[in-house]
Amino acid sequence: MRAVSISIHGGVEVLQSGEHPIPEPLADQVRIKVAWSALNHLDLWVRQGVPGHTFPLPLIPGCDFSGVVDAVGEQVSSWLLGDRVTVAPGFACYACEKCKAGKHNLCRDYGIYGETCDGGNAEYAVVDAKNLLAVPDGFPLDVAAAFPLTYLTAWHMLVSRCSLQEGDKVLVHAAGSGVSVAAVQIAKHWGADVMVTAGSDAKVNKGLENGADFGVNYQTKDWEKEARSWTKKRGLDIIVDHVGADTLPKGLRQLAKGGRIVTCGVTSGAEMELNMAPLFFKSLSVLGSTMGSLQDMHTVADLVFSGQLTPIIDSRYDFADIALAHQRMGERQAFGKLLLQVNPAVE
């Protein structure tokens, strides 16, 4: 089969396209003939490397992918050949105390396809049967590949970690990222008021088209001042922040009493100075969040498949052009998801 693999960390030149053996499913696994694979910022981290973290190289990346069931393990009875599916990207042991409590993302053995083991940047991929999500007839497989990781992440950040409520004032940084696109839609679905920031007027406008009530180009305006004005100085209830050093310390100053900052990443840097005084004076919370539970994933999938949440596709690429997709994401040009068409014959 054709697959893209990474043997060493580096730039787009380390993405190696070549022939690999077709994987065989274990007893409780299925094999998918991959139709589409979506790019996430996680794929850039896997390619570039993360200081202090070891990836199991060589590795086939790609944590979001859709397709049809091609083979099933001997213990699998719930899926048939040809079933249209997409994949819950996070997997767990499903047997420990955390898993039994429905907190799969806190399992000690939690992993992500394309990061912990081989993923979907290949013509065929093997996953646990529990991680399959049925794609309704007529629902496009490209869109089905575009939502799992980012919408699960955003849902867990807002609903599970921050206890999102109707009427909350929510700020979402970096409006064009996959997680931020999802966070805006989820916050509006719950009846919150949403402000976004972005680095260009074009992205701010797209953020407004995505449902945000107010937007600020942080290159030309002071987003803190604009947030104070937007909330009439009452402060923000929730800030969705995966930027890190450039935004998180300032965000603490803009929270209302009882406000929450939730972060799932630090693209501008992990090390920062925080003024901790507002934390206890205003009963604030700084929350970390990674992925979510399998139940969260099914809830999000139902909302997407029913049209209540709508992934935004930035661009589509042939599988052979994966380096161009990585380059576009790395240059922060995209608004929404970048997709790779792996098997054009699969629909």
Give the CATH number, domain containing residue 90. Answer: 3.90.180.10
| CATH code at position 273 | 3.40.50.720
Same-domain check for residues 124 and 196:
no
Q: What pTM was computed for the model? A: 0.94
My answer on whether 275 and 324 are in the same domain is no
Claim to verify: residue 96 and residue 161 sit in the same structural domain: no
Residue 294 placed within a domain: no
- Residues 96 and 89: their CA atoms lie apart, in Å, by 19
Give the range of the structural domain holding residue 327, as residue numbers without chain letter. Answer: 2-146+311-341
With respect to residue 30, please indicate whether it lies within any of the assigned structural domains.
yes
- In a domain, residue 306? The reply is no
pLDDT value at 20 more than 80 = yes
Residues 6+ apart with CB under 8 A from 92: 98, 99, 104, 105, 107, 109, 110, 111, 294
Examine residue 305 and state whether it is found in any structural domain, yes or no.
no
Is residue 113 domain-shared with residue 204, that is, in the same domain? no
Contacts of 132 (CB under 8 A, 6+ apart): 30, 69, 79, 83, 85, 86, 87, 88
pLDDT in tens, 213-233: 999 999 999 999 999 999 999
pLDDT in tens, 297-334: 999 999 999 999 999 999 999 999 999 999 999 988 88
347 located within any domain: no
- For every residue of 91-154, DSSP letters joined together read E--S-SHHHHTT-GGG-TT-EEBTTTB--SSBSEEEEEGGGEEEPPTTS-HHHHHSSHHHHHHH
pLDDT value of residue 201: 96
**Domains contained in the chain, number:** 2
